[in-house]
Amino acid sequence: MKSSADSKISAEYGQTPKYACYLLLAVTALLRNHQWLAAGAAASVMTYSRVAAIHLIVLFATNDRLNEPSSKARCEPVVLPGTDTTFLACAGIYDPDLGVIFDVINNSLLGALPIAAWSTTFRSSNRKPILIMWMLLLAISHIFYNVTRTDVNRHFQIYPTNQVEKLPLN
Protein backbone atom coordinates (compact mmCIF):
# COMPACT_ATOMS: atom_id res chain seq x y z
CA MET A 1 0.00 0.00 0.00
CA LYS A 2 1.30 3.43 -0.89
CA SER A 3 0.65 6.29 1.52
CA SER A 4 0.78 10.03 0.92
CA ALA A 5 3.97 10.14 2.97
CA ASP A 6 5.63 7.99 0.28
CA SER A 7 4.52 10.27 -2.54
CA LYS A 8 6.83 12.92 -3.86
CA ILE A 9 6.08 16.07 -5.82
CA SER A 10 5.90 15.43 -9.56
CA ALA A 11 8.96 16.40 -11.58
CA GLU A 12 7.09 19.03 -13.59
CA TYR A 13 6.50 20.97 -10.36
CA GLY A 14 10.09 20.71 -9.09
CA GLN A 15 12.30 23.64 -8.14
CA THR A 16 13.80 24.31 -11.58
CA PRO A 17 10.58 24.48 -13.65
CA LYS A 18 8.79 26.44 -10.95
CA TYR A 19 11.50 29.09 -10.60
CA ALA A 20 12.00 29.22 -14.37
CA CYS A 21 8.29 30.03 -14.66
CA TYR A 22 8.64 32.83 -12.10
CA LEU A 23 11.68 34.25 -13.90
CA LEU A 24 9.90 34.17 -17.25
CA LEU A 25 6.89 35.81 -15.63
CA ALA A 26 9.09 38.75 -14.63
CA VAL A 27 10.71 38.83 -18.09
CA THR A 28 7.26 38.97 -19.70
CA ALA A 29 6.22 41.92 -17.55
CA LEU A 30 9.45 43.91 -17.69
CA LEU A 31 11.02 43.25 -21.10
CA ARG A 32 9.89 45.90 -23.56
CA ASN A 33 12.60 46.27 -26.22
CA HIS A 34 12.64 42.67 -27.47
CA GLN A 35 9.00 41.90 -28.08
CA TRP A 36 9.68 38.49 -29.65
CA LEU A 37 11.54 37.39 -26.50
CA ALA A 38 8.76 38.66 -24.24
CA ALA A 39 6.18 36.86 -26.39
CA GLY A 40 8.11 33.59 -26.09
CA ALA A 41 8.41 34.02 -22.33
CA ALA A 42 4.70 34.79 -22.09
CA ALA A 43 3.81 31.69 -24.11
CA SER A 44 5.97 29.54 -21.84
CA VAL A 45 4.53 30.99 -18.62
CA MET A 46 0.96 30.80 -19.86
CA THR A 47 1.36 27.19 -21.01
CA TYR A 48 2.96 26.05 -17.74
CA SER A 49 0.40 27.78 -15.53
CA ARG A 50 -2.51 26.64 -17.74
CA VAL A 51 -1.41 23.02 -17.41
CA ALA A 52 -1.13 23.50 -13.64
CA ALA A 53 -4.61 25.06 -13.53
CA ILE A 54 -6.14 22.21 -15.51
CA HIS A 55 -4.30 19.70 -13.29
CA LEU A 56 -5.83 21.36 -10.23
CA ILE A 57 -9.32 21.19 -11.73
CA VAL A 58 -8.77 17.49 -12.50
CA LEU A 59 -7.63 16.92 -8.90
CA PHE A 60 -10.84 18.57 -7.75
CA ALA A 61 -12.95 16.41 -10.08
CA THR A 62 -11.32 13.18 -8.91
CA ASN A 63 -11.54 14.16 -5.26
CA ASP A 64 -15.36 14.22 -5.38
CA ARG A 65 -15.77 15.95 -2.02
CA LEU A 66 -18.97 17.77 -2.95
CA ASN A 67 -20.86 14.52 -3.57
CA GLU A 68 -19.47 12.77 -0.53
CA PRO A 69 -21.46 12.93 2.72
CA SER A 70 -19.47 14.44 5.57
CA SER A 71 -20.03 11.38 7.74
CA LYS A 72 -18.62 9.01 5.13
CA ALA A 73 -14.88 8.69 5.39
CA ARG A 74 -13.18 6.47 2.87
CA CYS A 75 -10.91 5.01 5.54
CA GLU A 76 -10.18 1.43 6.43
CA PRO A 77 -8.15 -0.12 9.25
CA VAL A 78 -4.84 -1.63 8.17
CA VAL A 79 -2.82 -4.04 10.31
CA LEU A 80 0.95 -3.75 10.03
CA PRO A 81 2.39 -7.15 9.08
CA GLY A 82 4.06 -8.98 11.96
CA THR A 83 2.53 -6.71 14.63
CA ASP A 84 -0.80 -6.07 16.24
CA THR A 85 -0.62 -2.35 15.39
CA THR A 86 -3.58 -1.00 13.44
CA PHE A 87 -3.88 2.38 11.77
CA LEU A 88 -6.41 4.02 9.49
CA ALA A 89 -5.55 4.39 5.81
CA CYS A 90 -7.76 6.89 4.00
CA ALA A 91 -8.16 6.97 0.22
CA GLY A 92 -7.96 10.15 -1.80
CA ILE A 93 -6.83 12.37 1.02
CA TYR A 94 -3.94 14.39 -0.27
CA ASP A 95 -1.95 14.88 -3.44
CA PRO A 96 1.51 16.32 -2.73
CA ASP A 97 1.33 18.34 -5.96
CA LEU A 98 -1.59 20.37 -4.62
CA GLY A 99 0.46 22.95 -2.70
CA VAL A 100 3.00 23.41 -5.48
CA ILE A 101 0.27 23.80 -8.09
CA PHE A 102 -1.28 26.48 -5.92
CA ASP A 103 2.07 28.30 -5.73
CA VAL A 104 2.36 28.33 -9.52
CA ILE A 105 -1.24 29.45 -10.04
CA ASN A 106 -1.13 32.05 -7.28
CA ASN A 107 2.15 33.61 -8.46
CA SER A 108 1.00 33.57 -12.08
CA LEU A 109 -2.24 35.25 -11.07
CA LEU A 110 -0.31 37.88 -9.11
CA GLY A 111 2.03 38.40 -12.06
CA ALA A 112 -0.84 38.74 -14.53
CA LEU A 113 -1.66 42.27 -13.39
CA PRO A 114 1.81 43.73 -14.14
CA ILE A 115 1.79 41.84 -17.43
CA ALA A 116 -1.55 43.40 -18.34
CA ALA A 117 -0.36 46.87 -17.31
CA TRP A 118 3.26 46.97 -18.51
CA SER A 119 3.80 44.34 -21.18
CA THR A 120 3.89 45.60 -24.76
CA THR A 121 3.14 42.06 -25.92
CA PHE A 122 -0.53 42.28 -24.93
CA ARG A 123 -1.22 45.90 -25.87
CA SER A 124 -2.81 45.12 -29.22
CA SER A 125 -6.53 44.40 -29.15
CA ASN A 126 -6.26 40.99 -30.80
CA ARG A 127 -3.98 39.69 -28.00
CA LYS A 128 -6.01 40.91 -25.02
CA PRO A 129 -8.57 38.06 -25.13
CA ILE A 130 -5.72 35.58 -24.69
CA LEU A 131 -4.60 37.36 -21.54
CA ILE A 132 -8.16 37.66 -20.22
CA MET A 133 -8.93 33.96 -20.80
CA TRP A 134 -5.65 32.98 -19.12
CA MET A 135 -6.43 35.13 -16.08
CA LEU A 136 -9.97 33.73 -15.93
CA LEU A 137 -8.70 30.13 -15.96
CA LEU A 138 -6.22 30.95 -13.20
CA ALA A 139 -8.93 32.62 -11.10
CA ILE A 140 -11.31 29.68 -11.51
CA SER A 141 -8.63 27.16 -10.60
CA HIS A 142 -7.75 29.29 -7.57
CA ILE A 143 -11.34 28.81 -6.38
CA PHE A 144 -11.11 25.06 -7.00
CA TYR A 145 -7.97 24.94 -4.85
CA ASN A 146 -9.82 26.45 -1.92
CA VAL A 147 -12.53 23.80 -2.22
CA THR A 148 -10.10 20.91 -2.75
CA ARG A 149 -7.39 21.62 -0.20
CA THR A 150 -9.09 20.85 3.11
CA ASP A 151 -11.83 18.72 4.48
CA VAL A 152 -12.82 19.95 7.92
CA ASN A 153 -15.08 16.97 8.58
CA ARG A 154 -12.17 14.54 8.87
CA HIS A 155 -9.45 14.10 11.39
CA PHE A 156 -6.49 12.17 10.07
CA GLN A 157 -5.04 10.04 12.80
CA ILE A 158 -1.29 9.67 12.72
CA TYR A 159 -0.99 7.42 15.75
CA PRO A 160 -2.09 3.77 15.70
CA THR A 161 -5.76 3.31 16.58
CA ASN A 162 -4.98 1.73 19.95
CA GLN A 163 -3.18 4.91 21.12
CA VAL A 164 -4.50 8.37 21.86
CA GLU A 165 -3.03 11.17 19.79
CA LYS A 166 -1.67 13.96 21.96
CA LEU A 167 -2.71 17.41 20.86
CA PRO A 168 -0.18 20.26 20.90
CA LEU A 169 0.13 22.26 24.12
CA ASN A 170 -1.53 19.55 26.22
Q: What are 24-77's pLDDT values in tens digits? A: 999 998 888 888 999 999 999 999 999 999 999 888 877 665 555 544 556 777
Spatial neighbors of 161 by CB under 8 A, at least 6 apart, are 77, 86, 87, 88
In a domain, residue 160? The reply is: no
In a domain, residue 52? The reply is: yes
In a domain, residue 7? The reply is: no
In a domain, residue 165? The reply is: no
Q: What is the extent of the structural domain holding 72?
A: 13-148
In a domain, residue 102? The reply is: yes
Of 96 and 18, the structure prediction assigns the larger pLDDT to: 18
Q: What are 133-159's pLDDT values in tens digits? A: 999 999 999 988 877 765 544 445 555
In a domain, residue 80? The reply is: yes
Which run of H or E residues covers position 76? strand 75-79
In a domain, residue 168? The reply is: no
Radius of gyration of the chain (CA): 21
Q: How many domains does one find in the chain?
A: 1
In degrees, rounded to 5, the angle at the alpha carbon of residue 89 between the alpha carbons of residues 58 and 147 is: 35
